[in-house]
C-alpha cells in the first residue's frame, strides 16, 4: 500500500498543509500567524480566524506544488489534538468536508505523536525502542517510543511547558512573542554561567518550570531596582544564563531516563528542539554517553503538516481511520 495523503495542521498558530506519497513527504507549506506578536502569546480567537483565511491557499499550494489532483488522494489527515479547540475545529471541519466530498478515508492525528514521527521523514531514522524528549510551547515530555504508533509518556511537566518558560521569560524581558527564538539568538552571544537560577526538584522523570519562572521574575525585579538599564546592558548574559538553566533541567532528566532504561537511541522533537544551545549540548552529551542522537531538520521542529502526513501514512497502513462524525480533542493523549 502506497497511499497519497493530504495532511492539515491547525492546532495552534501555524496553518500548514503537506502531501505524502508512497511514504515520502513531497512538501510542507506553512503559513505563520504574525498577528500574535504584540499580545505576548497566542490569542485563540485570532488564531481561528487566521486559520480560516489561510487554510484554502495553503492546501491549494500544497496540491499544486506536488502536482497532485484532489482526485488522486487516498485519504485526508488532520490534527485531532491536543491544541486550541477553535483552531483545531478549522482544520478538522475542512478535512471532514473534503474527505466526504471525495469519498475517501479520514485520518485523525495526535500532534505530539506527530512531532516524534517527524524523525521518519528523512534519514537517519532512530531504531526502536528510542527515547524522545518532546519540547514545545504546550508540552515537555520524555516518551518511550516502542513502535511508530506505540508510545508511552514516562516523564512530563507538572506545570509550565519549557517553551512556555522561554516565552514567558522573554515577555519579562520585553521581547515579542514567541520569545524562545530571540532568547536563543541573544544567548548565543552571552555567558551561560553569568547568573544562576535554581533547578526544580521533581520526582522521577518529571519536570517543573514554574519555580524558575518566579525566580527569574524576582531576579529581574531586584536587579532593575539597582540599575534601571540592567536588562538592556546585560541582555546576552541574562538570556544565556536562563537558557543554560532550562537546558540543564531537560538534560538531567533525559540522562536519568537513558540510564534507567538502558536506551542510547535519543531523539528530540517539538518547537524548542530548534534551540541551538539544546542542539549543541545534546551533541556533546552524545559523545560523552555513547548516544545516537537524532535532531529533526529545522522545518520539522516547529508545527508543520509534514509530520502530520508522516503519521497519517503509518496510520493508513494500519487502517486506523476516523469516523466522519469525529470532533477535535483539545486534550488528546497518546
Distance CA 272, CA 269 (A): 8
271 binds ligand KG4 (CB under 6 A): yes
Half-sphere exposure of 93 (CA within 13 A, CB side): 11
Select the residue interacting with Zn ion from 10, 92, 134, 136 (CB under 5 A): 136
Cβ 236 vs Cβ 196: under 8 Å? no
166 binds ligand KG4 (CB under 6 A): yes
Distance CA 280, CA 268 (A): 12
Distance CA 38, CA 89 (A): 24
Cβ 94 vs Cβ 305: under 8 Å? no
184 binds Zn ion (CB under 5 A): no
Binding mask 282-321 for ligand KG4 (x = CB under 6 A): --------------------xx------------------
Angle formed by the axes of helices 180-187 and 230-261, nearest 10°: 100
* Total residues in contact with ligand KG4, by rule CB under 6 A: 18
141 is in the binding site of which of ligand KG4, Zn ion, none (Cβ under 5 to 8 A by kind)? none
Shortest distance, position 180 Cβ to ligand KG4, whole Å? 2
Distance CA 72, CA 101 (A): 13
270 binds ligand KG4 (CB under 6 A): yes
Shortest distance, position 56 Cβ to ligand KG4, whole Å? 22
290 φ/ψ sector (left φ>0, alpha ψ -120 to 50, else beta): left
Strand partners of residue 6? 19, 76
Cβ 270 vs Cβ 297: under 8 Å? no
Residue (75 or 312) nearer to ligand KG4, CB? 312
Residue (303 or 322) nearer to ligand KG4, CB? 303
330 binds ligand KG4 (CB under 6 A): no
Distance CA 34, CA 51 (A): 12
Shortest distance, position 5 Cβ to ligand KG4, whole Å? 21
Shortest distance, position 221 Cβ to Zn ion, whole Å? 32
Which residues ranging from 294 to 333 are in contact with Zn ion (CB under 5 A)? 303
Q: Find, among 174, 132, 208, the residue nearest to 40 by Cα.
A: 174
Residue (21 or 80) nearer to ligand KG4, CB? 80
Residue numbers at the binding site for ligand KG4 (CB under 6 A): 12, 136-138, 163, 166-167, 178, 180-181, 184, 270-272, 274-275, 302-303
Residue numbers at the binding site for Zn ion (CB under 5 A): 136, 303
Amino acid at each position: 500500500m502506497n497511499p497519497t495523503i493530504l495532511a492539515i495542521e491547525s492546532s495552534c498558530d501555524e496553518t500548514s498543509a503537506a502531501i505524502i506519497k508512497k511514504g515520502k513527504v513531497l512538501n510542507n507549506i506553512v503559513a505563520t500567524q504574525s498577528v500574535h506578536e504584540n499580545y505576548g502569546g497566542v490569542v485563540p480567537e485570532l488564531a481561528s480566524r487566521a486559520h480560516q483565511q489561510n487554510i484554502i491557499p495553503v492546501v491549494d499550494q500544497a496540491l499544486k506544488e506536488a502536482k497532485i489532483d484532489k482526485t488522486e488522494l487516498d485519504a485526508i489527515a488532520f490534527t485531532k489534538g491536543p491544541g486550541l479547540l477553535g483552531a483545531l475545529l478549522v482544520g478538522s471541519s475542512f478535512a471532514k468536508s473534503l474527505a466526504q466530498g471525495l469519498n475517501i478515508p479520514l485520518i485523525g492525528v495526535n500532534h505530539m505523536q506527530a512531532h516524534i514521527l517527524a524523525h521518519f521523514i528523512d534519514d537517519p531514522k532512530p531504531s526502536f525502542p528510542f527515547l524522545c524528549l518532546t519540547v514545545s510551547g504546550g508540552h515537555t515530555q520524555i516518551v518511550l517510543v516502542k513502535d511508530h504508533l506505540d508510545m508511552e509518556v514516562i516523564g512530563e511537566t507538572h506545570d509550565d511547558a519549557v517553551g512556555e518558560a522561554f516565552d514567558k521569560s522573554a515577555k519579562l524581558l520585553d521581547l515579542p512573542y514567541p520569545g524562545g527564538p530571540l532568547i536563543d539568538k541573544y544567548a548565543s552571544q552571552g555567558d551561560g554561567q553569568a547568573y544562576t537560577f535554581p533547578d526544580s526538584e521533581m520526582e522521577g522523570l518529571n519536570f517543573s518550570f514554574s519555580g524558575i519562572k518566579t525566580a527569574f521574575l524576582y531576579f529581574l525585579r531586584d536587579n532593575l531596582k539597582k540599575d534601571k538599564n540592567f536588562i538592556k546592558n546585560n541582555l546576552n548574559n541574562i538570556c544565556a544564563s536562563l537558557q543554560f538553566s532550562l537546558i540543564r533541567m531537560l538534560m538531567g532528566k533525559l540522562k536519568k531516563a537513558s540510564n534507567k532504561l538502558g536506551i542510547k537511541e535519543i531523539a528530540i522533537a517539538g518547537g524548542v528542539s530548534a534551540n541551538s544551545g539544546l542542539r549543541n549540548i545534546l551533541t556533546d552529551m552524545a559523545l560523552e554517553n555513547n548516544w545516537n542522537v537524532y535532531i529533526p531538520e529545522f522545518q520539522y521542529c516547529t508545527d508543520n503538516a509534514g509530520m502530520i502526513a508522516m503519521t497519517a501514512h503509518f496510520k493508513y497502513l494500519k487502517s486506523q481511520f476516523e469516523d466522519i462524525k469525529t470532533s477535535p480533542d483539545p486534550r488528546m493523549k497518546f
